[in-house]
Amino acid sequence: MRSIKETINALKNGEYDDKLTYLYSCDKNDVEKYSDRYIDVINGFEETFGKDGDIALFSAPGRTEIGGNHTDHQHGCVIAGSVNLDVIAAAAPNGTNVVRIKSEGYPMDIIKLDELEIKEDEFETAAALIRGIIKKFVDLGYSVGGFDAYTVSNVLKGSGLSSSAAFEVLVGTVINGLFANGEVDATEIAKFGKFAENIYYNKPSGLMDQMASSVGSMVFIDFKSTEKPVVEKLEFD
């Protein structure tokens, strides 16, 4: 984590260019627009939460199906790939017992950490997804504290690129980074997202969307066991 000012300066000075060209499969000539996007999300964080402390940046991509449409529901095999459209966030612990997530263009979601039970009036809302993912980390024994996050997405809703799965993976990745020392692997974060979507959001779904977003790149997944799916990254040019 770095201060807001240091992070913005690092983006402007090209310190993150290598990471951004890798993350978005772009060349150095195109990296400025991605740097500017992260500066925008930092500005959104600062305007929303009025902080000048340290922050961290996070990303979770949308995904596209390549082969195996809906076979994840049937213990089958799929090939899927993440895309260079993503949900990004600036986030920081806030020292309270409350999680506040503001997504650009949407009302702020506020979750009290002593209220992690399922709420039927939250079905089909972002708050339900956030609450369910926090619950999985807490059940694993992690001490999740309050945090603030501002998110921006260019994964269009209803586009078939799984914007909801990208948001779930983003929330899991933020919590993993801020409170779990990055100890929870990509497969588990994907499963946390599925749990939140199935149980807290009240929507039946498979695991392909979350897995493709969380693992990233192009992947082959064998869902013979949905508890222990076999995941293999595929090489491609």
Which residues are known to be catalytic? 209
Residue 31 CA to residue 115 CA, distance in Å, equals 41
Contact 113, 99 (CB under 8 A): yes
What pairing do the DSSP bridges indicate for beta strands 77-93 and 109-112? unpaired
C-alpha 177/C-alpha 174 separation (Å) is 5
* Strands in the chain per DSSP E: 2-3, 54-67, 77-93, 98-103, 109-112, 147-153, 218-222, 230-233
Residue 92: beta bridge partners?
A: 148
